[in-house]
Chains A and B, each alone.
Chain A
Amino acid sequence: MHRLRAAVGKVLDWFEDRTGFMGLVMPLARKKQVPVHKHSIWYYLGGMLVFLFMLQVATGILLLFYYRPSAEGAFESVQFLMAQVRFGWLIRSIHSWGANLMIFVVFLHMFSVLLLRAYRAPRELTWLSGVALFATCLGLGFTGYLLPWNELAYFATQVGTEIPGVVPVVGPVIRTMLRGGDEVTGATLTRFYALHVSVLPAIAFLLISFHVVMVQKHGMSVPPSVERQGSSRGSIPFFPNFLLRDFVGWLCAIMVLASMAAFFPAHLGEKADPFAPAPAGIKPEWYFMFMFQSLKYLPAEILGIEGELVGVLGFGLLGLVLLLVPFLDRPDDQGRHRKVWTWGVYGTLAFILFLTYLGYTEEVPSSQDEPPAEAVSAAPVSIDGRSAAFRALGLAIEEADS
């Protein structure tokens, strides 16, 4: 045992003599301190996300061994993976559940940073790269959802790619770019595949690297409330004290994902049939639910502008505000931040939670509750083909009901 350890040590030393890698990294790691206070728990989320991202990359690469990105073969290859390939169910379920967990943690991470004002100067760039990462993760979720080419994903993508189409002038161009044509077809699948396995992961990797380097440069942000009260209880070294705690969290994440995979394996459903009517109860992934739901509630016209357009622009504006938070939320002369931002964040959170709740509890509308079909088809939206995505969906549900 000792001899083995000595041998391993010798090999490592041999490499270290030539690369000097540990000599570069270790001082940095040792220097890094993690503050200890009542909000320290939120510091774990960043590391958790790095871990989950690596897990997604690893399981994603494994899935590539069997996946075939074509409308003819995608569903069958996933079915084959689930039925014939040993542990195929495990890899795919972990990838699918891992994606959900990752996006959930992204939300937590972002809201904790917002509420603890960790975006304060000089950490604006960290925040900007973080928002970009948030968008990248949503993009990964959206593109990955279509890849099994099953019925639910097909129609959810149909609706999802319809949304940017409402924006005047550029909308239809963006929609056609996304779909690789006028409709969601096999061309869309190959596009989404390219985005999902190469473009977006590469972007995510670059952003994560930048994000982590920035965090390393500025150190962990201590919340203003803690700073003011002086309630910090000092700090612990990142290496190894904090990193070992990270390991515990990661292991727990593995455990959660493995359990979900064993008890609730990822579904496959029916193969997508572009000519079939949309089945009732099409829902987007849960993280898009609040947007889906709020667009549904918008009236057909607001102040003479198409309702969906208002909604899409509204969410665009929300995204812009989110991006610019560090520049908009300036402290006053005494270094105090305005409470209105905190309330704004809580308000947004409440809005998201409430609409998500509505999205999952709302009954599928019966045909009596729907507006008469004539009224819908008479709306200018439908005539020029840029049919409002959600109204179209409502119609489809009605058809499926009757």
Chain B
Amino acid sequence: MAKTRLLRHARATGLAASLLVGQSIVGLAAPGSVAGQDSPAQPCIDCHLRQDEPRLLEPAVTFLDDVHGSLGLGCLSCHGRLPGREIAMESGFLSKPSRREVAGLCGSCHSSSDVMSEYNPTLPRDQESEYWTSAHGRRLMENDDQGVATCTDCHAPHNIRSPSDPNSTVHPLNVADTCATCHGDRALMEPRNHSWNEADDFREGVHGVMLYEEGDVSAPTCNDCHGNHGAAPPGLSSIHAVCGQCHGRMDELFRENQHDRYFTEAGLGGCTACHGNHDIPSPTDELLAEAQQDVCRSCHTESDPVGSDFTLMARLLDSLITSTQSAEAALEQAESLGMEVSQAFFDLEEAQTALTLARASVHSFNAETVASDIEDGIQATDTAQSRALRAFGEHRTRRVGLAITAAIIALLVLGLLLRIRDLDRALPPDVGDHA
């Protein structure tokens, strides 16, 4: 779909495009050290724009937006750099690197401090070496598996963009799609004993929802846990460290109580044992009960007293939630009576913070740690409750005050009416009805 649109666009604007491309690339002929060859790119572009076959047309059109293109690098910067495979225009032979050659070709610049300092000094120089340690790189190197990803499978060749560019294949919102072109393809994955539903699972999990539905690009996507150039599934013992990048408090508590080690020994991956990996559900307090029946029981047998600790933690969380709700209800009632309780509402937010901390403390697997957080929260809800009570009291006081005023006014009116009657009686008799 995208390709056909691109083609139509290219044909319609063929002339303009070729002019533009010409301007941007000719004259900027790839800088000596990188290009290796000094031939301008214009002849390649010109000819490719006249091609009907998408495979041949596309590179000429999309290269305009490529970071390398915009830095002034031309076609030969890559295609003319394989020793002994230089482009020979006359013979019609074109150099296309083999899959095994790609990483090395990119690395010839990207691993070179000299070149990178000139073009993009902040970019790490170890991307290629990382790649060779990745599951992809190793399979390619060791098993000569031609189906694994190499640089050009994730970074669209001829249209490589910065990860911050929303159109980039490696922009956070596109990473899962990019990975899924292979990892969602059953035909590719099944023969390699790999599952093919991770990307779909991820989209349904809490991080996917944050990323796609709430548009939070700081939410992690595939590469935040698996790495990118060195992509590999984290080992069982390092899962908590990966999650701990963001969920630091949980990681800290988890490591402190040595469950990490027990979990690894039992073949359970730290965080994932309870939370899953790709389709991580938004954690609820029920998880505590579920985990207790499920994961915990694989080590803690029925006779193990630790079960009561779990029940206690669940109850503690529940008690704070309930008391927050009842404090909120009391304040809302006070508010509906017209009392001003915005400060009390504000202070009640502390209970919410305490609940967040207590939920983190569950990862200490120690009811006492949870209890101390809950205590802080209960203190806040108690304050809110007493504020609400004070507001109710104040509301009652208002009505008492009103009643007293009413009594005074009634008596005063009575006195006035009596006086008026006396006065009217003293009037001359012709005034009959004293309205």
Instruction: Using CB atoms and an 8 Å cutoff, list the residues of chain A in contact with chain B.
Output: 36-38, 40-41, 79, 82-83, 89-90, 233-237, 240-241, 244-245, 247-248, 251-252, 254-255, 258-259, 262-265, 267-268
Contacts and interface: CB of A to CB of B under 8 A. Distances in A.
A36 B434 contact: yes
Nearest to A237: B427
A236 B435 CA distance: 10
A38 B433 CA distance: 9
A235 B431 contact: yes
Interface in B417-435: 417, 419-420, 423-424, 427-428, 430-435
Contact of A265 (B338, B405, B432): B338
Interface string B392-435: 00000011011001100100110011011001100110111111
Contacts of A255: 405-406, 409
A83 B331 CA distance: 14
A145 B36 CA distance: 77
B337 to A, nearest CB: 8
A244 B426 CA distance: 15
Q: Which 7 A-B pairs have the closest CB atoms?
A: A83-B340, A265-B338, A234-B431, A40-B435, A262-B402, A82-B340, A234-B430
A319 B139 CA distance: 90
B342 A245 contact: no
B343 A83 contact: yes
A262 B431 contact: no
Contacts of B341: 83
Given A79-B342, A89-B338, A251-B413, A258 B405 contact: yes
Interface of B: 338, 340-343, 398-399, 401-402, 405-406, 409, 412-413, 416-417, 419-420, 423-424, 427-428, 430-435
Given A79-B342, A233-B433, A268-B340, 6 more contacts: A36-B432, A41-B435, A79-B340, A248-B420, A251-B416, A252-B413
20 contacts: A36-B435, A38-B435, A40-B435, A82-B340, A89-B398, A233-B433, A234-B430, A236-B424, A236-B431, A241-B420, A251-B409, A251-B413, A251-B416, A254-B405, A258-B405, A258-B406, A259-B402, A259-B406, A264-B338, A267-B338
Contacts of B401: 262
Given A241-B420, A248-B416, A251-B413, A262 B398 contact: yes
A37 B432 CA distance: 10
A240 B427 CA distance: 11
A237 B341 CA distance: 52
A40 B431 CA distance: 13
A312 B428 CA distance: 54
A154 B427 CA distance: 55
Contacts of B431: 36, 233-236
Nearest to A255: B409
Contacts of B399: 262-263
Main secondary structure of the interface of B (DSSP, over half): helix
B338 A258 contact: no
A240 B338 contact: no
A193 to B, nearest CB: 22
Contacts of B423: 240-241, 244
Contacts of A248: 413, 416-417, 420
Most chain-B CB neighbours within 10 Å: which of A82, A248, A252, A268? Answer: A248
A240 B426 CA distance: 12
A229 B409 CA distance: 39
Contact of A244 (B342, B343, B416, B433): B416
A81 to B, nearest CB: 9
B85 to A, nearest CB: 61
Contacts of A263: 399
B416 A258 contact: no
A229 B339 CA distance: 56
A47 B432 CA distance: 23
A89 B340 contact: yes
Nearest to B341: A83
A268 B338 CA distance: 9
Contacts of A254: 405, 409
A241 B427 CA distance: 9
Nearest to A264: B338
B399 to A, nearest CB: 6
B434 A236 contact: yes
Contact of B419 (A90, A234, A244): A244
B289 to A, nearest CB: 40
B340 A245 contact: no
B331 to A, nearest CB: 13
B40 to A, nearest CB: 52
Contacts of B430: 233-234
A107 to B, nearest CB: 22
Contact of A233 (B402, B412, B432): B432
Contacts of A240: 423
Most chain-B CB neighbours within 10 Å: which of A240, A251, A262? Answer: A262
A98 to B, nearest CB: 15
Nearest to B429: A234
Nearest to B402: A262
A67 B147 CA distance: 74
Contacts of B433: 36, 233
A30 B105 CA distance: 113
A237 B416 CA distance: 16
A251 B405 contact: no
A97 to B, nearest CB: 12
A236 to B, nearest CB: 6
Most chain-A CB neighbours within 10 Å: which of B338, B402, B428? Answer: B338
B427 A236 contact: yes
A361 to B, nearest CB: 24
B304 to A, nearest CB: 53
A37 B431 CA distance: 10
B340 to A, nearest CB: 3
A241 B434 CA distance: 10
A66 to B, nearest CB: 13
Nearest to B405: A258
Contacts of A40: 435
A258 B402 contact: yes
